[in-house]
Amino acid sequence: MNYVKFFTTSIRVAAVVFFVSTAMAQNLPVPSPGTWVTGWMAAPDGVAAPLTPVTIRQVLRTSVGGTDVRLRFSNLLGTQPLTISSVHVALHAGGGAIVEGSDRLALFNGAGTITIAPGSSVAIDPVALPVEALVELAVSLYLPMGASLPTVHDNGAQTTYLVESKDVASVTSISSTQINDSRYFLTDVEVLAPIGTHTLVVVGDSVTDGIRSTQDGNARWPDFLANRLQGMPAAGTVAVVNAGIAGNRVLNDFGSPYVGPSTLNRFERDVLDKPSLRWIILLQGINDISASELLKTPKDQVSAQQIIDGMKLLIERAHAKGVKIWAGTLLPREGAVRPLPHSASMEAKRQAVNLWIRTGGAFDGVVDFDLVLQDPAHPSRQLNTLNSGDGTHPNDAGYMLMANAVDLVGLLKQ
């Protein structure tokens, strides 16, 4: 008898029996066999205006399919306990509507209401809702007590619907004159995907966040990357999630107009802690460069070498967890005027960082976004037909070309 195989199999069977028995004893749903991966995320980056009691319906697209979903809500930046009730998840039918018959009530340890302490987050019980890759979901919740400092991801590029004073989370179609594009409290949608599915996290700033992409169009460059992967039979088991924050930096935290905790400070929560993580693509550093001229505090006066050293720390932390980390070269932005005009000294830093990304050999792979988007006649500028008009952010066509520039064959071999 192969005692090693027998012993290993016995442990697996015992673990499954224990998990299922525990779930049944607590009257919790028992998920099907599979691998939990993050199918969608929105990194918390600030607070919104106070909310009175309100229903919030948010729309998102999951990058992979599976049999069950699990949501995570955050009160990271709140200063008071947050009470959430009547959480529903359903297939999205367009606008503020859901597909009839797809609505599922989500519970927290078997209860319909949860109170989240300031600075904390919670995951709901798994919900049996089969989803396909690239399908849109609608997540609805009710805040019976409102929220004084709602934790949000500010720029969602997706319409959020708010209905004050009443719980309509389970209603098939809601109409509301109060809309915005912030993500409220919802930070992760995990999917119970086929065994062997892995997660790719794209981390960066406003370019990764999809600023100036088509509203409700799923036209950020990580969205287009997910489209490509689902079109490849061998790559359909890769979840692509977007950890971009507009205004974010590698080295330093908040400092208007720069937003969110630095990538060095949020790397564990927003990237390394994601289940089934295998790859990271980093596209960041341009805000560190502009902040060094806009902000006057000494810590913000960073050099190209300091940015490179920050990237080296991210590489070390990724490799310590056995995760591959690629980098994208920083995009051209001559002609940009916000948050301040691009200058010769800023361009020199950008070129220095890009040279190291290309030739330093520290990353597991490189995506040359700079080369893809630059105007051949004026390489420090983005090609007009690929730019949204502000000199900094691509348009949908530019974002698609960025996704197409990723060497998926090389990535998947790692």
Statement to judge: residues 403 and 330 lie in one domain: yes
Q: What is the amino acid identity at position 19?
A: F
The predicted-structure confidence for 330-343, as pLDDT tens digits, reads as follows 999 999 988 889 99
Statement to judge: residues 247 and 123 lie in one domain: no
Q: Which of 145, 165, 188 is the last residue of a domain?
A: 188
Statement to judge: residues 281 and 161 lie in one domain: no
Strand residue runs (E) in 82-208:
82-94, 97-98, 104-106, 113-116, 121-123, 127-131, 136-143, 151-153, 160-164, 178-180, 183-184, 186-193, 198-204
- Non-local (6+) Cβ contacts of 237 within 8 A are 64, 193, 194, 196, 197, 198
pTM of the model: 0.91
Can you tell me the mean pLDDT for 302-324?
98
Statement to judge: residues 206 and 350 lie in one domain: yes
Q: Which of 188, 209, 232 is the last residue of a domain?
A: 188
Count of other CB atoms within 10 angstroms of residue 194: 16
The predicted-structure confidence for 174-226, as pLDDT tens digits, reads as follows 988 899 999 999 999 999 999 999 999 999 999 999 999 999 999 999 999 99
**Residues spanned by the domain of 274:** 195-412
Statement to judge: residues 158 and 213 lie in one domain: no
Lowest mean pLDDT among 3-17, 126-140, 198-212, 268-282: 3-17
Q: Which of 135, 156, 188 is the last residue of a domain?
A: 188
